[in-house]
Structure 1
Amino acid sequence: MTARSIRVTLADMLDDLPGKNFDDFVDQLLDCGEEPRVRRNRVEGKSRLEVVDVLVSTFTETGAVRVSVEVLKQINCHEQANKLVKETSGQSSNLKETSGQSSNSGAAGVNTTARHGRAEKHFVDEHRTVLIDRVTNVASILDDLLHEEVISKVHYDEIMALSPRQSQMRKLYDPLYGAGRAAKEVFFKSLQAHENHLIQDLQKKE
């Protein structure tokens, strides 16, 4: 299932919810402990399509499905939860690991896992502070992330409206907190394309 069809499936699921159940869905979404947290002003009083945009921009496409299923079960909408699972079963977003690469390898076979004490962190997480401070081609990176549907058009517009570029980069990281490795690999690949000298400099220091 493509990322776009996941959006359509989520929108159809919310359309199938009666008014009270939709309100319960939004309330439970705000109460759930899933990180990153959804802010009240982003979903309260919003349309179903706007809530889908928030789900996807916050949790990524596949994460939005998982969170929605959990929320549906919590508000006793088990039929809709089962239907959502069935319609998305065995499917994922278009953010795939590049064929032939190991799970720890990013674009061009570069190891994008950095060791941080006893834990392992992705390159873009390990160097978050430096990347926020030094990345200059934010617009080009946003275009890539939007094209690969790591971020939604709503999130894209929110970031583009910010200034300076450091604020844009901080906001850009929001959807990546709850994202899996595939989304971070897309981000890393874009950094390689538009900020190659910076990436090479950081890799030399590891």
Structure 2
Amino acid sequence: MPCGRDLILKALDNLNEDEFKRFKNKLLTVPLRDGYCHIPRGTLQDLDRVDLTDKIVRYYLESYGLNVTMQVLQDIGMREEAVTLQQAAGAASRPHPTGNAVQPTQQSATAFIPSGEHFVDRHRASLISNVTLLDPVLDQLCGQVLNEEQYDAIRAENTTQNQMRKLYSFMRAWDNACKDQLLEALKKTNPFLVQRLEKS
């Protein structure tokens, strides 16, 4: 299955030069989720399609980068291309009967309580207070759901509790798949805490 980066690059490759220029201009002003910033204008001007794809993934990561790309395509009047990208991204994210792709389905089954609230949202206060081993969690999330600037901002906090609060401030922009990744990282690094909270 193609990854998010491949799908973004394919969408950009399908643009002609005028459309590509309009895409870059709109990327400067498209509304973004909290915690994300626009790619600087000076950085964008000379980027080709491959370099722009890399820049989008670096600033927004693959999952949100796909959403940003779709939004820009829609905003410049290329709805058909946006729909094509959305369909390709949906197909790539569906569970597959073999390999590692089945894991997100299994993770999601335990990530939610009956009310539909995600585990990491329900146990926010307890996780902030009790997580003791956070560095390996951040290392696993960096490049997946945290960009380098967010990673550095969290590490700059002086206590683990403040680092967790900073992590939660970025989490407001996450979807449930991103929260699943945090939960899986916590299960590996703080297993007893997660087990205790699952029973509470």
Normalised to the residue count of structure 1, the TM-score between the two structures is 0.67
2:132 equivalent to 1:133: no
CA-atom RMSD, angstroms? Answer: 3.5
- Letter in structure 2 aligned against 1:150: V
Within 5 Å, give how 1:4-83 maps onto structure 2: 5-10=3-8, 13=11, 18-30=20-32, 36-37=33-34, 39-40=36-37, 42-45=38-41, 46-47=43-44, 48=52, 49-56=54-61, 61-78=62-79, 80-81=81-82
- Other-structure match for 1:33: none
Kindly tell me: are residues 91 and 27 of structure 1, through their superposed partners in 2, closer, same or farther at Cα, counting changes over 3 Å?
A: same
Matched-pair identity in % = 27
Q: Deviations over 1:143-194 (max 9, x none)?
A: 22237x2333443333323332223223323554343433322221221221
- Other-structure match for 1:201: 196
Residue 93 (structure 1) shift: 8.8
Q: Is this contact kept in 2: 1:97–1:103, CA < 8 A? A: no
Q: Is this contact kept in 2: 1:69–1:81, CA < 8 A? A: yes
Residue 142 (structure 1) shift: 1.2
For the residue of structure 2 that corresponds to 1:151, the secondary structure is coil
- Structure 1: gaps (5+ residues): 31-35, 106-111
Within 5 Å, give how 1:152-163 maps onto structure 2: 152-163=147-158
CA distance in 1 between counterparts of 2:140 and 2:23 reads 36
Q: Deviations over 1:19-44 (max 9, x none)?
A: 443122231234xxxxx33554x434
CA distance in 2 between counterparts of 1:127 and 1:121 reads 10
CA distance in 2 between counterparts of 1:44 and 1:134 reads 38
CA distance in 1 between counterparts of 2:105 and 2:74 reads 37
CA distance in 1 between counterparts of 2:191 and 2:94 reads 27
For the residue of structure 2 that corresponds to 1:37, the secondary structure is coil
Within 5 Å, give how 1:97-116 maps onto structure 2: 98=103, 101=106, 103-105=108-110, 112-115=111-114
Structure 1 stretch 71-80 or stretch 85-94: which is displaced more? 85-94
Kindly tell me: are residues 38 and 19 of structure 1, through their superposed partners in 2, closer, same or farther at Cα, counting changes over 3 Å?
A: farther
The alignment of Structure 1 onto Structure 2 pairs a total of residues equal to: 183
Kindly tell me: are residues 128 and 10 of structure 1, through their superposed partners in 2, closer, same or farther at Cα, counting changes over 3 Å?
A: same
CA distance in 2 between counterparts of 1:166 and 1:74 reads 40
Kindly tell me: are residues 93 and 186 of structure 1, through their superposed partners in 2, closer, same or farther at Cα, counting changes over 3 Å?
A: farther
Q: Deviations over 1:108-135 (max 9, x none)?
A: xxxx3234xxx42111111112212221
Q: Is this contact kept in 2: 1:159–1:171, CA < 8 A? A: yes
